[in-house]
Amino acid sequence: MLEAEDVSVSLGGTQILSGVDFSAACGSVVGLVGPNGAGKTTVLRTLRATLSPDSGTVRVAGEPIDDLSSKEVSRRVASTPQATTLSFDFTVEQTVEMGRTPHLGRFERADEDDDDAVRAAMERADVAQFADRTVTSLSGGERQRVLLARALAQETPVLLLDEPTANLDVNHAVRTLELVTDLVAEGKTAVAAIHDLNLAARYCDELVVLSDGEVRAAGDPREVLTSETLGDAFDAETLVTRQPGTDAPLVTPLPDRAPIDRTVHVVGTGTQAAAAVARLVAAGSSVTVGVVPAGDAAAERARELDCPVVTVPPFAGVDSNARARATELAREADAVVVAGDVGDANQSVVAAASRLVAVAGEGVPRVESERTTVTTVESLPAAVADCSPPPRDADDPVPRSQEQQDRY
């Protein structure tokens, strides 16, 4: 449906794109990823014919885009810009109606079909409730959704989206990309520049990695998002694992600092515990995990990263041998991290810790003592680095709070 062949673009004497090649099949989402200044926006501008390449060809449904009039291009390709600045006091409905312009003659007025297309576009982009409000009165994220509605109102086979999730909260970012995948399932083709690698990996059928105006890799996200490719494109160290519940890659940036030389035992289940394991391994810590049910996200992440893990069969309960092994790992660790749902069966493992770091969230036990630090997953490595085990009394090698003494 859309093809760029050996496209090169220079602006102001500076080479922006050099020999860019990629294609987007009908009914697919192709993500453009890369560092700032890689040329992603320039690619999109070239694909919609607002920039003419110095060399190379862009084709839409097999036709060279340079052979088409601007109105013909607009009937085939709709786009949303990265910036959401709209300086005129048009209402949201009026702004979305602009998407119908390519379908109207010079003196032709919108008819009932155009009105239906506008209403449908506003509903799908979740902006119908703003129809009578001026665009300038909306937040940046709301304006982003209005621009998406305008593109949908064009009813084109191709959508070009420049950072479609910019300014959106997590909920609307996911809903926007879910909408894009629904549209693609209905037959549209989408090319999107996406800053978030993990969202791109989850929602795109193929990824094109750009750096310095060149394509460094293209293909299935599982093949493209490797530590080697990302190191080449972003000049950064990364840890690539798998997103819980999918086979999409999960990219975790490695800190640009000395490894955190700590032994850490992670207690907890679910995606939050899995994220804690990945973050700590990425920071250079030696990590053990348990007790967790086999197949849990934390257990799978531990095995993927070659971390020792104590597991029990799902729904089988924690037996004394598993509890004893996990308790010994916790006792030997510099710190124990509790994340996700810990459960009653792991309380004795938690009690064996000399230092505790609790990742704030549902299911984490509220152990109030001087040996406990509460933090976020993102700040976990720094919190663990600050852990220095307190001196241990010869008669009680594991210090416990009064609450724990009462419990155990």
Nearest-5° angle of CA 122, CA 118, CA 175?
25
Q: Does residue 31 belong to any structural domain of this protein?
A: yes
**CATH code, domain carrying 283:** 3.40.50
- Quickly count: other Cβ atoms within 10 Å of residue 30's Cβ: 22
Give 140-167 pLDDT, tens digit per residue.
Answer: 888 889 999 999 999 999 999 999 988 7
**CATH code, domain carrying 207:** 3.40.50.300
pLDDT at residue 34, rounded to an integer: 94
223 and 280 in a single domain? The answer is no
95 and 25 in a single domain? The answer is yes
What's the gap between Cα 347 and its chain centre? 33
Instruction: List % helix, strand, coil for the chain (3-state, nearest 5).
Output: 35, 25, 40
220 and 292 in a single domain? The answer is no
Distance in angstroms (rounded) separating the CA atoms of residues 35 and 207:
14
Q: Does residue 250 belong to any structural domain of this protein?
A: no
Give 2-49 pLDDT, tens digit per residue.
Answer: 999 999 999 988 999 999 999 999 999 999 999 998 999 999 999 999
Distance in angstroms (rounded) separating the CA atoms of residues 145 and 165:
9
pLDDT at residue 398, rounded to an integer: 44
End position of a domain, from candidates 183, 216, 235: 235
338 and 400 in a single domain? The answer is yes
pLDDT at residue 149, rounded to an integer: 94
Q: Does residue 212 belong to any structural domain of this protein?
A: yes
Give 253-266 pLDDT, tens digit per residue.
Answer: 876 666 788 899 99
* Domain range enclosing 53: 2-235
227 and 269 in a single domain? The answer is no
323 and 229 in a single domain? The answer is no
pLDDT at residue 256, rounded to an integer: 65
Q: What's this model's pTM, rounded to 2 decimal places? A: 0.73
25 and 63 in a single domain? The answer is yes
Q: Does residue 257 belong to any structural domain of this protein?
A: no
196 and 99 in a single domain? The answer is yes
Taking 50 as the pLDDT cut, the residues of the chain under it are 363, 365, 390-408
pLDDT at residue 243, rounded to an integer: 85
231 and 283 in a single domain? The answer is no
pLDDT at residue 65, rounded to an integer: 94
218 and 296 in a single domain? The answer is no
Q: Does residue 247 belong to any structural domain of this protein?
A: no
Distance in angstroms (rounded) separating the CA atoms of residues 71 and 103:
8
12 and 103 in a single domain? The answer is yes
